Structure 1
């Protein structure tokens, strides 16, 4: 039997790299979730799927998605009924997760959303009280995450010209592995800084 060929995009390749480190014990779940901009709950589910299916678990949901009109009418009715009953008040993303995990209705979020919108059922808007953002803990090891920034200033004195200092800061240590002055902040400057980091420190896990 011919094996299925799976082609991963850049985002999916990054997820695979991070998940491999999690499974090997090199990264904590909280660190991996921060690197992938996922909640711990989302990362646990992704990790479980990746452990079972390998790279196929990262295959983007748009590929092979079933058009909502092709979903059997009885399943569409059940989705609408559950959305107005057992899962009343759930947004489309959370509803889709519940349908997949507990109701054996394994459809993409966009498919569920379109079924509900066709019936006039929009995702509920929840007004949350304002809250202060808590400071994120730093990464535990050097090279896990780099923060890049540019600062425009008269670096040579009050009468000197403006220059932009473009640099990379290691999130774990607060050190600056690479920086350079530019006439203005631009993509070329950031690329050159990243090249310096790769040459001297290796490829960072996250940017």
Structure 2
């Protein structure tokens, strides 16, 4: 239909919408809906209010489609991989993160660097031997 938006929803969101619609149509009480959805009655009231105000879109999380606040800056990955290739090719990810923090001021988790190195083919997973 013209003028309507398409809303992508997960199966869980569709299920929630169905239950909230039943509450709005007075076919189910909020307490029962809370039990079915695994939410508190207060949260069900909030969802009912949002769905009545915003329509079906009220069930979808507001952060959907947005970038994370914890996302690392764009060029950091390439910069760090460049440092690794030039200065620290023989070091492990944990030591490299410590070395990057000292002079360059780059704070990065060792597991993040390990994932980046695996992705770039600069690091292999090591298997622990049998004891």
TM-score, normalised to structure 1, is: 0.31
TM-score, normalised to structure 2, is: 0.47
Greater gyration radius: 2
